[in-house]
Amino acid sequence: MSRLQRKLMPVAAGLITGAGTQRWRHRLAEWRRRLRGRPHEATFYFRIDDPYSWLLAQVLPRFAEHFGVRVTPRVMLYLDRSMYPEPDMLRELAPRDAAALAGLHDLSFPADWRIPDRETALAATRCLLKHEHDERFWSLAHALSDALWRGDQEDLQRLVKDHGQQPEDQAQLALEARRDQFLKDGHYLTGTLHYGGEWYWSLERLDHLARRLETLGQGGGPWPLDYGRAKQALLPGAPAAPADDGETRPELEMFFSFRSPYSYIALPRAYALADHYGLTLRLRPVLPMVMRGLSVPRAKRFYILTDAAREARLHEVPFGRACDPLGKGVERCMALWPFAEKEGRLREWLLHAGEGIWSQGVDAASDAGLRKLVTAAGMNWNRARRWLDDDQWQRDAEANREAMVAAGSWGVPSFRVNGRLVWGQDRFALIEQTLQSGH
């Protein structure tokens, strides 16, 4: 990337992610809807072997009724594997995560779930395709999902026999075409709603859509169910007393990347959680996926940037004028990690480096940019720059990657507490539950 491109990057990112841009897009979509005389409409991309799809399907009928939105289901099954860097790991992690979310939100998901095989998922999908446009879709999707994730073949076969299926050849062609069109439309994750030009993935983004609809006068009052609940720890009671010298405290691990906007957005909440419960927050930096040989296609990068922007606004974290630190910028920030620890300024370094990279357009790959970040964190640049040639960070990053993968995750931010892995910046309520339960 040229120097000019790096200078223009924060400007372009700011335009894409800005609150003003989002409001303009929303107004334009609403103007088009009214001009065409259309009702409020959303498309729901449902995949039966995706646990997040099932959770969202359980609440959408109530959500749609409350806000007066017509939700059209679009059944999917085949996805572009290039969008999923470690699909086998995701197949194991997602049901565990969904089961925990179901408990938090009082939804259905079997504790003794079983990963569906592709042949069984296809049979259930063909049944749903046949009923995609009738009122029975929601109840049928729930019944089929329940049988599929419980591994109840007898119940599943009964449902398929009773309700019928779309012919296999037609279903295969439709599902392949939908996979390709999905990417062209700009997204890659099922369990997703598309409304007015914007994507809302899983339960944890319904809060954004609810607020958008409320500003349009829909709903006659706030949406009564808090589906942003998983994002925040409650932090009840008084904070923990300061640690005494030599006191051993419980540990919260956080796998972190300088290139991950979600890592940056999660960091203040991670510190707040650790401070409140008297935990030692052990931050474990890893290289970005791209620098580890994993692909992040353009459609995925664009969604992550825009989604991170609205999440940052929700948590009041500065965001927008981003300067991608990929490559040299990441390496230099990683190299200064041991120095920041030695200076007792690691918290300041991570918070200021994150804000500089994701909000102020600071180019961490340049000496001028890195110096600005170091100084903002209260450290001496002349001492800091001596650490830039030290390669210890590479060995530490590899050890952290191996630990993260062994724990069951491939991406950041991931957390581990009391031996339990929790994935994502929108799972702080689950981390808190683990702390309170002790397991």
Dump pLDDT digits (tens) for 43-57.
Answer: 999 999 999 999 999
> Is residue 338, in this structure, part of any structural domain at all?
yes
> Is residue 3, in this structure, part of any structural domain at all?
no
**178 shares a domain with 286:** no
> Is residue 2, in this structure, part of any structural domain at all?
no
**279 shares a domain with 198:** no
Q: What is the CATH number of the domain that holds 149?
A: 3.40.30.10
Which tens digit of pLDDT belongs to each residue from 264-290? 999 999 999 999 999 999 999 999 876
d(CA 93, CA 89): 6
Where is pLDDT greater, at 298 or 365? 365
Instruction: Examine the fold and report which residue of 169, 194, 229 is the final residue of a domain before the chain moves on.
Output: 229
Domain that holds residue 98: 39-229
Q: So what's the pLDDT on residue 80? A: 73
Mean pLDDT across the stretch 74-94? 84
Instruction: Examine the fold and report which residue of 181, 199, 229 is the final residue of a domain before the chain moves on.
Output: 229
Contacts 24+ apart (CB under 8 A), 80-89: 80/179, 80/183, 80/188, 82/295, 82/297, 83/183, 83/188, 83/189, 83/297, 83/299, 83/300, 85/289, 85/294, 85/295, 85/296, 85/410, 85/411, 86/294, 86/410, 86/411, 89/405, 89/408, 89/409, 89/410
**339 shares a domain with 299:** yes
29: pLDDT strictly greater than 70: yes
- Mean residue pLDDT of the chain comes to 92
Helix spans in 315-379 (H): 328-335, 337-342, 346-358, 367-376
306: pLDDT strictly greater than 90: yes
Residue 317 DSSP SS3: coil
> Is residue 1, in this structure, part of any structural domain at all?
no
Residue 297: pLDDT band with limits 50, 70, 90: low
2: pLDDT strictly greater than 70: no
Q: Which residues contact 346 (CB under 8 A, 6 or more apart)?
A: 283, 337, 340
Classify burial at 78, counting beta carbons within 10 Å of its beta carbon; exposed 0-12, middle 13-18, buried 19 or more.
middle
Residue 171: pLDDT band with limits 50, 70, 90: very high
**61 shares a domain with 125:** yes
**295 shares a domain with 191:** no
Q: So what's the pLDDT on residue 292? A: 59
Mean pLDDT across the stretch 306-311? 96
Q: Are 11 and 323 in contact (CB under 8 A)?
A: no
> Is residue 312, in this structure, part of any structural domain at all?
yes
259: pLDDT strictly greater than 80: yes
Mean pLDDT across the stretch 333-339? 96
216: pLDDT strictly greater than 60: yes
**281 shares a domain with 200:** no
Which tens digit of pLDDT belongs to each residue from 399-408? 999 999 999 9
**301 shares a domain with 402:** yes
Which tens digit of pLDDT belongs to each residue from 130-142? 999 998 999 999 9
Q: So what's the pLDDT on residue 106? A: 95
262 dihedral zone (left: phi>0; alpha: psi -120 to 50; beta): alpha
Number of domains, the chain: 2
> Is residue 403, in this structure, part of any structural domain at all?
yes
**187 shares a domain with 286:** no
Q: What angle do CA 237, 243, 247 make, to 5 degrees?
A: 125
Where is pLDDT greater, at 9 or 2? 9
Q: So what's the pLDDT on residue 239? A: 84
**216 shares a domain with 256:** no
> Is residue 53, in this structure, part of any structural domain at all?
yes
Mean pLDDT across the stretch 224-238? 89
Which tens digit of pLDDT belongs to each residue from 182-212? 888 888 889 999 999 999 999 999 999 999 9
Q: So what's the pLDDT on residue 293? A: 55
**258 shares a domain with 222:** no
Residue 192 DSSP SS3: strand
**110 shares a domain with 63:** yes
220: pLDDT strictly greater than 90: no
Q: So what's the pLDDT on residue 298? A: 67
Percent of the chain with pLDDT over 90: 79
Residue 342: pLDDT band with limits 50, 70, 90: very high
Q: So what's the pLDDT on residue 62? A: 93
Which tens digit of pLDDT belongs to each residue from 85-125? 778 888 899 999 999 999 999 999 999 999 999 999 999 99
> Is residue 25, in this structure, part of any structural domain at all?
no
**319 shares a domain with 219:** no
Q: So what's the pLDDT on residue 200? A: 96
